Structure 1
Amino acid sequence: MNIAFSPCPNDTFIFHAWVHGLVPGAPKLNVTYADIDITNGLAASGTGPEVLKISYAALPWVLEEYKLLPCGGALGRGCGPLVLTRKGEGAIKRPAGLSGKRIAVPSERSTAYLLFRLWAAQQVPEGPAEIVVMPFDEIMPAVRDGLIDAGLVIHEARFTYANYSLQMLADLGSWWESDTGLPIPLGAIVARRDLDHEKLSGWIRSSLEHAWAHPNDCRDYVLSHAQELEPEVAKSHIDLYVNEFSRDLGEDGYAAITALLKRAAAEGLVPPVDPALLR
């Protein structure tokens, strides 16, 4: 079976056991490791692998071909994207200061981008002058070096932005949670609609349960795909993004996904989605 997910610690932690043949009855996996912006494109192309990790923001474009699985993804609290700016003289210290500025984002089909646009509609009335898409690992250096006025960052940047002499202007996860009372939907696992989704979900959950029961088993695998991260940062990443929602979305999870896509559709950011297609 072909699968595509990111080399980030949360994905490699969850899928380690299945990738290494430790899930009874599960088929052998042929893995493509790719940034989520790439997997979003693979899913939207209609020619992607059977199973993918994509952004929840990409769901409206892929739901005819792919079904959302209720496990294996990234959704939680206290794990949202951040808006970062430079420190020092002339620093942007209030959201309204982003008006007319250049903002770097990792993708325009990401939950991070949807959250930024929904937040900016409230907090930055005049809006930024330009949105610049760049690889997420280039955003913090670009903000630090003055090439960009502010950056939207995800993943382990939550733990490392201080190393670039940057400051947090906004935590979009905290804003979303306070505004909606719901967790933050980040990354989804989807599978082609002609597959046995119950079996797939069982294999993913078995792989996750193995990782939780034997966390040291996957340590070398996780670190080999996160070579720029210190072990403690990789562990913090896993602790933040792998949680009970990774085992099962539950009613709060589905409510969060529905709310995000409904709000984004109202702003014209994504096509409308029939909530029935999310189950």
Structure 2
Amino acid sequence: MKIAYSPCPNDTFVFHAWTHGLIPGAPELEVTYADIDITNNWAANSEGPEVMKISYAALPWVLSDYKLLPCGGALGRGCGPLVLTKGGAVDTNNPAALAGKRVAVPSERSTAYLLFRLWAARQVPEGVGEIVVMPFHEIMPAVRDGKIDAGLVIHEARFTYRSYGLSMLMDLGSWWESDTGLPIPLGAIIARRSLDAGAIADWIRASVYYAWTHPDASQAYVMQHAQELAPDVAQAHIDLYVNAFTANLGDDGYAAVAALLGRAAEEGLVPGFDLSLLR
């Protein structure tokens, strides 16, 4: 079975057991490592592997061909994207100061970008200026070097942005949680509707539980793909993004996804779709 997920520590931790043939009865995996912006486009164009990690924000474009699986993804609390700036570029005490500024984002079909747009609609009524899409690992250096005024960052950047001399303008996850009371839906696992989604979910869930039961088993695999992260940063990443929602979305997880995409559809940020397709 072909699968695509990112080289980030949470994904390699979750899929280590299945990828290495440690889940009884699960088929052998052929893995492609790809950033979420790439898999979002593959899924939207019905290309790519049978199973993929994409952004929840990309679901409205793909649900006719792919089914959302109830496990393996990334939701949580205290783990949302951050809006960063460099001292003097934007007043960190006044979000409206983003008006007319250049802001870098990792993808226009990411949860991070949806949260940013929903937040900015309220906090920056005059509208931000140019949106620049760039790979997430290039965003903080670009903000640091003054190439852009602010950056929307994800993943381990929340642990490392201070080392770039940057300041946080807004924690969009905290804003979302205070506004809705729900967790933040970040990355989803999807499978082609022609496949046995129940069996795939069982294998993924078994891989998650194996990872939790044998936390040291995946360490070498995680660090091999961790993009030069320090081991403590990689572990902090895993601790933050691999949680109860990874094993089972549950009612709160599905409610969070429906709330995010429902609001985004009302704002015209994503196509309208039948929310019943989420389950």
Q: Quote the residue 1:207 is aligned against.
A: 207
Using the TM superposition, give the Cα deviation of residue 127 of structure 1 relative to its aligned residue in structure 2, in angstroms.
0.9
Q: Distance in 2 between matches of 1:5 and 1:21?
A: 17
Q: Which residue of 2 aligns with 1:188?
A: 188
Kindly, what percent of the aligned residue pairs are identical? 74
Residue matched to 1:26: 26
Distance 2:124 2:212 in 1: 41
Task: Report the equivalent of 2:62.
Answer: 62
In structure 2, how many angstroms separate the alpha carbons of the residues matched to 1:235 and 1:173?
20
Aligned to 2:125, the other structure's residue is in SS state coil
Q: TM-score with structure 2 length normalisation?
A: 0.99
SS at match of 2:218: helix
Amino acid of the structure 2 residue aligned with 1:182: L
How far residue 92 of structure 1 moved from its aligned partner, in angstroms, is: 2.3
Alignment of 1:115-154 (within 5 A): 115-154=115-154
Q: Spell out the pairing of 1:1-279 with structure 2 (5 A cutoff).
A: 1-87=1-87, 89=88, 91-93=90-92, 94-279=94-279
Counterpart AA for 1:104 = A
Q: Over residues 109-144 of structure 1, what are the superposed CA-to-partner deviations in whole Å (9 max), with x where a residue is unaligned?
A: 000000000000010110111100011001000001
1:91 to partner: Cα distance: 4.3
Q: Distance in 2 between matches of 1:233 and 1:183?
A: 22
Whole-Å separation in 2 of the counterparts to 1:46 and 1:198: 21
The DSSP-based 3-state class of the residue aligned with 2:211 is helix
User: Which amino acid is 1:105 matched to?
Assistant: V
Taking the aligned partners of 1:47 and 1:233, their CA distance within structure 2 comes to 33
On the 8 A contact 1:86/1:92 being kept in 2, the answer is no
Q: CA separation in 1, counterparts of 2:62 and 2:218? A: 31
Offset of 1:48 from its aligned partner? 1.8
Write out per-residue CA displacement over residues 46-74 of structure 1, whole angstroms, 9 at most, x where no aligned residue. 12211000000000000010000000000
Q: Distance in 2 between matches of 1:108 and 1:209?
A: 33
Deviation at 1:221, TM superposition (A): 0.1
Inter-partner Cα distance in structure 1 for 2:109 and 2:200? 25
Distance 2:89 2:16 in 1: 46
Distance change (3 Å), C-alpha of 1:66 and 1:223: same
User: Amino acid of the residue matched to residue 213 of structure 2?
Assistant: A
1:193 CA displacement: 0.3
Is the 8 Å Cα contact of residues 90 and 150 (structure 2) preserved in structure 1? no
CA distance in 2, matches of 1:228, 1:86: 24
| CA distances 1:198-234 after superposition (whole Å, capped 9, x unpaired) | 1101100110101000010000000000132000000
**Preserved contact between residue 261 and residue 273 of structure 1 (Cα < 8 Å):** no
For the 8 Å contact 1:76–1:245, the answer to whether it is kept is yes
State the shift of 1:235 in Å.
0.2
Aligned alpha-carbon RMSD (Å): 0.7
CA contact (8 A) 1:95 1:169 kept: yes
Q: Does the CA contact (< 8 Å) of 1:9 and 1:226 recur in 2?
A: yes
Please give the secondary structure, in 1, of the residue aligned with 2:85: strand
Structure 1 CA distance, aligned partners of 2:273 and 2:170? 28
Give the Å deviation of 1:16: 0.0
What is the alpha-carbon distance in structure 2 between the residues aligned to residue 95 and residue 268 of structure 1? 22
Change (3 A) 1:96 1:53: same
**How many residue pairs end up in the alignment?**
278
State the AA in 1 paired with 2:155: H
Q: Which residue identity does 1:5 align to in structure 2?
A: Y
The structure 1 segments of at least 4 consecutive aligned residues displaced by more than 2 Å after TM superposition are 89-92
Flag structure 1 segments of 5+ consecutive residues without an equivalent: none
Taking the aligned partners of 2:212 and 2:120, their CA distance within structure 1 comes to 38
Q: Distance in 2 between matches of 1:86 and 1:166?
A: 5
